[in-house]
Chains A and B, each alone.
Chain A
Amino acid sequence: GQQLNQSPQSMFIQEGEDVSMNCTSSSIFNTWLWYKQEPGEGPVLLIALYKAGELTSNGRLTAQFGITRKDSFLNISASIPSDVGIYFCAGRQTDSWGKLQFGAGTQVVVTP
């Protein structure tokens, strides 16, 4: 079952606002990734994090790999309507040979 706890479950925000979401686990992960899924499509990789403490940006997106290796967060700054979608965190544990575990997702709705 699900080992990653992702929150919040959904967010309704106005255009221009910042968005924050996070993922926590009781287990240590060696890799954290953040994906975005739009209706009718598969998830698309946004950011990959490979080291504890790592802070990585991709345009208006910033993600961090928590120091404890048990959490990660994603920030979206100055949201725009096309940020709408479901954002998933995913983590890989040691020796899982590529297998990722996914959080339940955060649904983001942006209103003009």
Chain B
Amino acid sequence: DSGVTQTPKHLITATGQRVTLRCSPRSGDLSVYWYQQSLDQGLQFLIQYYNGEERAKGNILERFSAQQFPDLHSELNLSSLELGDSALYFCASSDRPEQGNYGYTFGSGTRLTVV
């Protein structure tokens, strides 16, 4: 157990639907990162939050949004789902990046299948 909890582990949904993926970071970690892993694209950075504020944005589609709540858990919302959104979605957390610790701890991921 890495300490980063992601739910659900698996999700099957239809095109056009909306889903919410949840992540609880490791205790004490303030930063949360979301990554998408697909077979042909590898691990792609989506978005980062630090202590409730958005810090960096990657290749995140407009149909996707995220937030980090006061208790530091984060949610990734995916809407108007398309077949191509099928992928593993990972959440990772780290403590203070400004102190030089860039070793993320990853959760086990949510496997999203859009049918």
Report whether B105 and A45 are in contact in the complex, using a CB–CB cutoff of 8 Å.
yes
Report whether B42 and A102 are in contact in the complex, using a CB–CB cutoff of 8 Å.
yes
Report whether B102 and A31 are in contact in the complex, using a CB–CB cutoff of 8 Å.
yes
Report whether A88 and B43 are in contact in the complex, using a CB–CB cutoff of 8 Å.
yes
Residue of A whose beta carbon sits closest to that of B88: A42
Report whether A97 and B97 are in contact in the complex, using a CB–CB cutoff of 8 Å.
yes
Given contacts A42-B2, A42-B4, A42-B92, contact A101 B45 (CB under 8 A): yes
* CB neighbours of A104 from chain B (8 A): 42
* CB neighbours of A42 from chain B (8 A): 2, 4, 90, 92, 106-109
Given contacts A42-B90, A42-B92, contact A98 B55 (CB under 8 A): yes
A105 close to B (CB within 8 Å): yes
Query: How many residues of chain A get a CB closer than 8 Å to chain B's CBs?
Result: 25
Report whether B42 and A2 are in contact in the complex, using a CB–CB cutoff of 8 Å.
yes
Q: CB within 8 A of B45: which of A41, A99, A103?
A: A99
Given contacts A42-B107, A44-B2, contact A98 B31 (CB under 8 A): yes
A9 to chain B minimum Cβ distance, whole angstroms, is 11
Interface residues, chain B, with chain A CB atoms under 8 Å away: 2, 4, 31, 33, 35, 41-43, 45, 48, 50, 55-56, 58-59, 90, 92, 94, 97-98, 100, 102-109
- Majority-rule SS of A interface residues: loop
Known: A88-B42, A98-B56, A101-B45. 19 other contacts (CB 8 A): A2-B41, A40-B108, A41-B108, A42-B107, A42-B109, A43-B90, A44-B2, A44-B106, A50-B100, A92-B102, A97-B97, A97-B98, A98-B31, A98-B33, A98-B97, A99-B56, A100-B104, A102-B35, A102-B42
How many angstroms from the CA of A33 to the CA of B43 in the assembled complex? 14
Q: CB within 8 A of B56: which of A44, A45, A97, A102?
A: A97
Residue of B whose beta carbon sits closest to that of A98: B97
Residue of B whose beta carbon sits closest to that of A92: B102
28 contacts between A and B (CB under 8 A): A31-B102, A33-B102, A35-B106, A40-B108, A42-B92, A42-B108, A43-B43, A44-B2, A45-B103, A48-B102, A92-B102, A96-B56, A97-B48, A97-B97, A97-B98, A98-B33, A98-B55, A98-B56, A98-B97, A98-B102, A99-B48, A100-B45, A100-B104, A101-B45, A102-B35, A102-B43, A102-B45, A103-B42
